[in-house]
Structure 1
Amino acid sequence: MVAQSASEIREATRATLLDYGVVAEGYAAGNMNHDVSQNIAALMAPLLAGTADRKAPLDILDVCCASGRDLLTFTQMGHKAVGLDGVPAFCQMARSLSGCEVWEQDLSALELPPERFDGIFANACLFHLPSAALPAALAQLRLALRPGGVLFVSNAHGFGEDKEGWTCGRTEQTRSYVCWLSEETWVATCTRAGFQLLDSYYRPPGKPRAQQPFLATVWRRPATS
């Protein structure tokens, strides 16, 4: 069943957060050494290249920061990072590991300060939002970026198709909601939200396309909007 109504969207996000929450410690441990340096570089490159008025330290929002692995990386790079996650256990872990401020918020009900960040890093998370909730979430992310700011997103994709609905969870008692969109649909969705596409690539690097389940895209909020 595709989640479309407000109540269905709330249930989709509630159940997905619970699915992550019950395995939070194991998930964090398993992903602590996962290499996302390619994605971090993709976010930072357009922020730091040829922008005399946008210098480090930059304000970075790490969406669905989990245990704080990437918050720590951004901080060690000299930037000012803020985390956001909907799983209470992840928020606690991230604060402890990184020392950064971490906001506990649901992706389907974001309330972000306007023009607060130079860059937003949304790695492997927005594909858990029902497609009906994507426009509102993208609007909030765009609002939170300063004009000319950059949004990075890495999503599990549909290999040329749009697929959406419930999938098995990480335990026998839980389930998760996924929205695997084609590249065409995802690009159209973000473009309608007012973003300009800067770059795109499939992950993990060096694999045949059939073995690259993630699509990474880099977007800019126009400087004049």
Structure 2
Amino acid sequence: MSLPSVELRALLDATLAHYEDRAAAFWAVTRDHDVTQNRSALLAALGPGGPWTILDVGCGPGRDLKAFSELGHRAIGVEGAGRFVAMAQAYSNCEVWQQDFLELDLPQGRFDGIYANASLFHVPRQSLPLVLARLHAALRADGVFFASNPRGTGEEGYRDGRYAVLYDWPSWRSLVAAAGFAPVSHYYRPGDVPVAQAQWIASVWRKI
């Protein structure tokens, strides 16, 4: 059964409040987390050339914004938590827009790549098709979309104070393909454990 918009708003607001209250602690834990593999997966799919214009969706305190910028790309963040917006601007020196997933207002066809690392799993399942449609519209023709999400078997609800949806690969593939993306590749993280034990699914897509 679909939730009314007021309940969806409450779910997302609770998750944003969780991050607002723990912004400094979250940054301390994630600042040095190595996701070079994920950034490289997006850039590899974009191919030679550039510099590229990249939208970091749910950019948090700005770790990956800064990394993309230091590689010479134009990186722009979008983030719902106000404290993260300020932190990301200060840390990365990049432009950051304060928008949450239920109210995305993105310029159409502006971005070469969209990078959503550990963010889209906070979108309630019923709202994900609309979010993906807005990301699709924001990409240029043949643009590349990267996403990394925690792995599960369809669980949806609060986990550690944050709303989360945990997808398996077939379910995630179906949802993203339905939004107009063609799969390029996917892999599991961390890569040093058997696939059955890997807790994250990373995937790369091309706009069609």
The structure 1 residue matched to 2:170, chosen from 169, 184, 201, is: 184
Matched, 1:100 2:86: no
Measured after TM superposition, the shift of residue 3 of structure 1 is 6.8
Matched, 1:162 2:154: yes
User: Which residue of the partner structure matches residue 73 of structure 1?
Assistant: 67
The structure 2 residue matched to 1:199, chosen from 162, 185, 188, is: 185
User: Which residue of the partner structure matches residue 9 of structure 2?
Assistant: 10
CA distance in 2, matches of 1:94, 1:3: 34
User: Which residue of the partner structure matches residue 221 of structure 1?
Assistant: 207
Preserved CA contact (<8 Å) 1:3 1:12: no
Matched, 1:133 2:127: yes
Preserved CA contact (<8 Å) 1:64 1:125: yes
Matched, 1:145 2:139: yes
CA distance in 2, matches of 1:104, 1:7: 20
- Whichever residue aligns with residue 165 of structure 1, its letter is G
Q: CA RMSD in A?
A: 1.2
User: Which residue of the partner structure matches residue 41 of structure 1?
Assistant: 40
User: Which residue of the partner structure matches residue 78 of structure 2?
Assistant: 84
Count of aligned positions: 208
Which 5+ residue runs of structure 2 have no aligned equivalent? none
CA distance in 2, matches of 1:143, 1:216: 21
Q: Residue by residue, what CA displacement relative to the aligned partner does 1:117-168 show, whole Å, maximum 9, x if unpaired?
A: 000100001001110010010001000000010000001121xx21111223
- Whichever residue aligns with residue 138 of structure 1, its letter is L
Measured after TM superposition, the shift of residue 33 of structure 1 is 0.5
- The 3-state SS of whatever aligns with 2:105 is coil
- Whichever residue aligns with residue 7 of structure 2, its letter is E
Identical-residue share of aligned pairs (%): 44
TM-score (norm 1): 0.89
Preserved CA contact (<8 Å) 1:124 1:155: yes
